[in-house]
Structure 1
Amino acid sequence: MLDIKLINKQYIAGTWRDGKSNRTLADKNPYSGEVITEFKMASTDDVDAAYQAAEAGMDEWNQINPYKQRDILENAVSYVEEHEEDITNIIIDELGGTHLKAAFEISLVKNMLKEAATFPLKKEGKILPSMEDGKENRLYRMPAGVVGVISPFNFPFFLSVKSIGPAIGAGNGVVLKAHEETPIVGGTLIAKIFEEAGVPKGLFNVVVTDISEIGDSFVEHPIPRIISFTGSTTVGRHIAQQAVKNFKKPLLELGGNSAFIVLDDADIDYAVNAAAFSRFTHQGQICMSANRIIVHQSIYDEFIAKYKKKIAALKTGDPRDPDTVIGPVVNEDAAQRLKAIIEKGIEQGATPVLKGNISGNMVEPTILTDVTSDMAVAQEEMFGPVVGVTPFETDKEAVRIANNTKFGLSGAVHTADGERGVQLAKMIHTGMIHVNDITINDEPIIAFGGEKQSGLGRLNGEWSLEEFTTMKWISINYGQRQFPY
């Protein structure tokens, strides 16, 4: 059994220790408000120690046979499988995630770790000809260096492992800064998994702290070569600036404002179900969630009526109840921000056909119709159980509405004509878009990433291997080169 009291510390250089800060972090259940546990925060000295350990652990890791490295990463999968029930309970208690959400996230983690376990055997190089006689050019695929990972609060288990697993599989040491709202699921739980899997001490480290304690030291530290961040566009912009200023590569998975387009020939009942899942899974706290539903005018009223009936029936409340679909948002600040944006949308002319109550961290579903692109609810990432619906008359207009955003992460198009959907999808400025499916998709071997202000870089499969490695040119001259002087 996983005991939270054994993993409520920093994990640095293969040891569990209190942070050196004088401050503590209370880890609270977002539904009950109960304090789950407390952490003694990490200081800048702890961040330095973690990076030093990762650099040393990386050297040891790369002396291990790649087949053994694969076995160790497969051990991590086995540990997750053996402790699924415990992990589910922690996700429910720390995140306010439902049973459905926990199962979804754990499945994603297992598949990502399985893919990462193949990386040690995929680091292929090349031998290429030379312009010079008697010379051979070799290209070696090498680990990029220590990777700093900054975890989000919404899917912290998966979105941390999404970078950590492939980075370690590619031969890199890693330091993870867990989000202060989810220090266990997005931090020390993962440390426990890799510790039990058998990675060398120091290869993987976790620091639990906040920015007021460590400032930009996590990003500016001289050791890491890559900073992988998942979170808001505002914070991502700052991290990218600090990373590039210090000659580090930023990998950014940022905000979204995904459009869910329903064409005039779509299966309305299916589209309603897909739109519900696309928006309200984990209370809408997913970067790929459908923020905007764009529906053809000819089916608009029917869609709204069926969608309202569907959403109104979703059970809101205690995430420990297996029937609950919508649990709490991450904290009361998030709930109040949602309340403000709903009120602003109504002031700007949106019609609330369903308006849920907001109490503490609990936000019941709200559907706003007659939304136009200039409204805040159409331009901002709401990140909660609130959605705006907009009518359109032509495919060209649907594309224009969908593209009227600074974001470009995901999307969906529903139509009876799959090729019509594909051609329309090509015109949407987004990194990912799905025909006759949900907006929330992530597969371990498919390129994942956003356009515009939704991020930089691509992860998963061969793209993660590319991001977390570098090519090193080593040439051999078997003869003697002739010089002009």
Structure 2
Amino acid sequence: MTDLATATASRGLLIGGRDVPALSGRTTDDLNPVTGEVYLRVPAAGPEDVTRAVDAAHAAFPGWAGTAPSVRRGLLQKAADLLEARVAEFTDIMISETGGTRTWAAFNIRMSVDLIRQAATMATRPTGSLLASDVAGEWSVAVREPAGVVAAFVPWNGPLILCTRAIAVALATGNPVVIRPSEDAPVTSGYFLADILAEAGVPDGVVNVVTNDRADAPAVVEALIADDRVRRVNFTGSTPVGRIVGRLAGEHLKPVILELGGKNPIVVLDDADPAYAASGVTVAKFMNAGQICLSVDRVILQRGIADEFVAAFLEKVRALGQGDPEGEHTLVGPMINERAAERVAALVADAVEKGATVLHGGGPAQGAFYPATVLDNVTPDMRIYSEEVFGPVATVFRVDTVDQAVDLANDTAYGLSSAVYTENATLGLAVARRLRHGNVHINDHSVADEPQAPVGGVKDSGFGHFGSDWGVEFFTETRWVTLADRHSVYPL
């Protein structure tokens, strides 16, 4: 594994187990969001490099699909062990590459280890079933077989977790992969896991990594999806880009999973424990500076608890560790770049100009940093009412009734994750049934996650589900096979 934690370095495209330059010789820079300095230089691939990566993956497909399931399981388990031992190394890289905090880096490792171990069990699960048949003397079976080359598009915000989700079950079920990592995090959303898998013994060509310059992304994405040998596509990222990926996959008849944006609500009912709910909302909003697809945007409070909750919430927000991502207790570090921080500042400025009240934070961006912010009196004419924040800004709403809370929570084009805090489990379940989101949590926050659980949204938050138990069908093809122990009688 290349040491990237100590100095500026360079990588090649990972194709067929070798680091190689782009055929054009071009490179692109991966920047440290805090210093603005070049952290890593990687190849700026073009469509011709995509073809090389798919060549390698397709060549590796028969051997990997034919590898004994117990061997695939063992290799993934070894990779999980190796990953578990690399917390310090990964943390240093993540801080330098994305500005992610130590807390967030450690969570990425822990969750990814669990995801790989859960996925490993999928390698040896039953791959078929015996069907009933009306033909005497015939065995009729449905069997599942690896689909082929998988294209995995991985974002920067939860880089290791989302890279693992994109490829672990695909590998367990016998498919080779081509990872297209984020331009903002090519190591933590691609190379790091690929190197771990190679060290564990996964054969050359089974895992490939193609990096590109941001300007070349449309051509690279289209080339990867359009290649006939790519049989599955998965994408995690913004809804606008997800629409493009979905359209391309549809044009080429490729099954696709899209895990997209969210405008995630948390409802706090009158009978909730305000301190407990405030703790959950604080984590769900400000972990990784709010740059998690499951982060809460809307905090919807029933009026009877609103003042007590807001007081408890603001107390926790004021105590948050903010700033230096190296800090052991920092929860709100920098955003991924200055452009992202300025976008969030613009959302807040628009809201304030139209009458929103700043309860905490606010103001202009400071480079890639934006402070933890809480807004009240947000109205539908403000951009922040409907746009995904993807930053450290919470919006607070007050309603009178449970019905109003549910209506407001569902008043969005998105439907990724939601939560409801209440001490009445029956009421919580009744509310959860009415929330139109892929994930709903009662008495836990919207970022709650488990490796065996399905993760995916409804409406403009995408379709399909990541998750080890839920990905097997996606990454395999079903075939019907019959075997007769006697000759049939044909009507000819």
TM-score bracket relative to the smaller structure = over 0.9
> 2-side partners of 1:125 and 1:278: how far apart?
40
- On the 8 A contact 1:258/1:410 being kept in 2, the answer is yes
What is the aligned counterpart of 1:383 among 390, 408, 415? 390
- What's the counterpart of residue 338 of structure 1? 344
What is the aligned counterpart of 1:197 among 196, 200, 204? 200
Shift of residue 148, structure 1, vs aligned partner: 0.2
- Code of the residue aligned with 1:146 in structure 2: it is V
TM-score normalised per structure 2: 0.96
Give percent identity, aligned residues only.
37
**Helix, strand or coil for the counterpart of 1:421?**
helix
- On the 8 A contact 1:294/1:390 being kept in 2, the answer is yes
**Helix, strand or coil for the counterpart of 2:388?**
coil
- What's the counterpart of residue 144 of structure 2? 141
- On the 8 A contact 2:231/2:255 being kept in 1, the answer is yes
Q: CA RMSD in A?
A: 1.5
- On the 8 A contact 1:228/1:252 being kept in 2, the answer is yes
- What's the counterpart of residue 76 of structure 2? 73
CA deviations on 1:208-242 (whole Å, 9 max, x unpaired) are 11353251212212111111000000100110010
- What's the counterpart of residue 95 of structure 1? 98
- What's the counterpart of residue 301 of structure 1? 307
CA deviations on 1:35-90 (whole Å, 9 max, x unpaired) are 11211222212111111111121211122221111111111112112222101111
Shift of residue 382, structure 1, vs aligned partner: 0.5
**Helix, strand or coil for the counterpart of 2:316?**
helix
> 1-side partners of 2:366 and 2:373: how far apart?
14
- On the 8 A contact 1:345/1:377 being kept in 2, the answer is yes
Please identify, of 317-326 and 182-191, the stretch whose mean Cα deviation from structure 2 is larger: 317-326
What is the aligned counterpart of 1:264 among 258, 270, 273? 270
What is the aligned counterpart of 1:310 among 302, 310, 316? 316
Gaps of at least 5 residues in structure 2 are: none
**Helix, strand or coil for the counterpart of 2:473?**
helix
- What's the counterpart of residue 27 of structure 1? 30
- What's the counterpart of residue 425 of structure 1? 432
Please identify, of 382-391 and 211-220, the stretch whose mean Cα deviation from structure 2 is larger: 211-220
CA deviations on 1:169-223 (whole Å, 9 max, x unpaired) are 0111100001000000011111111110111110110001135325121221211
> 1-side partners of 2:331 and 2:456: how far apart?
27
- What's the counterpart of residue 157 of structure 2? 154
Shift of residue 447, structure 1, vs aligned partner: 1.5
- On the 8 A contact 1:20/1:40 being kept in 2, the answer is no
> 2-side partners of 1:362 and 1:27: how far apart?
18
- On the 8 A contact 2:9/2:41 being kept in 1, the answer is no
- What's the counterpart of residue 238 of structure 1? 244
> 2-side partners of 1:384 and 1:105: how far apart?
18
Please identify, of 244-253 and 203-212, the stretch whose mean Cα deviation from structure 2 is larger: 203-212
Mapping for residues 115-130 of structure 1, pairs under 5 Å: 115-130=118-133
- On the 8 A contact 1:13/1:53 being kept in 2, the answer is yes
CA deviations on 1:85-115 (whole Å, 9 max, x unpaired) are 1011111111111111011111110000101
Is 1:167 matched with 2:181? no
Give the direction of change, closer, same or farther, for the CA distance of 1:6–1:341 in structure 2 (3 Å limit): closer
Please identify, of 87-96 and 234-243, the stretch whose mean Cα deviation from structure 2 is larger: 87-96
Shift of residue 2, structure 1, vs aligned partner: 5.4
- What's the counterpart of residue 403 of structure 1? 410
Please identify, of 208-217 and 190-199, the stretch whose mean Cα deviation from structure 2 is larger: 208-217
> 1-side partners of 2:252 and 2:215: how far apart?
21
Shift of residue 263, structure 1, vs aligned partner: 0.3
**Helix, strand or coil for the counterpart of 1:142?**
strand
> 1-side partners of 2:2 and 2:288: how far apart?
24
**Helix, strand or coil for the counterpart of 2:331?**
coil
**Helix, strand or coil for the counterpart of 2:423?**
coil
**Helix, strand or coil for the counterpart of 2:330?**
coil
Shift of residue 265, structure 1, vs aligned partner: 0.8
**Helix, strand or coil for the counterpart of 1:187?**
helix
Shift of residue 266, structure 1, vs aligned partner: 0.8
- Code of the residue aligned with 1:393 in structure 2: it is D
- Code of the residue aligned with 2:485 in structure 1: it is Y
> 2-side partners of 1:419 and 1:220: how far apart?
49
- On the 8 A contact 2:183/2:214 being kept in 1, the answer is no
CA deviations on 1:360-383 (whole Å, 9 max, x unpaired) are 101011111022345321211100
Shift of residue 323, structure 1, vs aligned partner: 2.7
**Helix, strand or coil for the counterpart of 1:441?**
coil
- On the 8 A contact 1:142/1:471 being kept in 2, the answer is yes
> 2-side partners of 1:437 and 1:199: how far apart?
37
**Helix, strand or coil for the counterpart of 1:164?**
helix
- Code of the residue aligned with 1:79 in structure 2: it is L
- What's the counterpart of residue 456 of structure 1? 463
- Code of the residue aligned with 2:431 in structure 1: it is L
Is 1:181 matched with 2:184? yes
- On the 8 A contact 1:373/1:404 being kept in 2, the answer is no
- What's the counterpart of residue 255 of structure 1? 261
- On the 8 A contact 1:54/1:203 being kept in 2, the answer is yes
Shift of residue 452, structure 1, vs aligned partner: 0.7
- Code of the residue aligned with 1:3 in structure 2: it is D
Give the direction of change, closer, same or farther, for the CA distance of 1:346–1:356 in structure 2 (3 Å limit): closer
CA deviations on 1:22-41 (whole Å, 9 max, x unpaired) are 43211111112221121122
Shift of residue 312, structure 1, vs aligned partner: 2.1
**Helix, strand or coil for the counterpart of 1:433?**
strand
Give the direction of change, closer, same or farther, for the CA distance of 1:110–1:72 in structure 2 (3 Å limit): same
> 2-side partners of 1:123 and 1:374: how far apart?
53
- Code of the residue aligned with 2:3 in structure 1: it is D
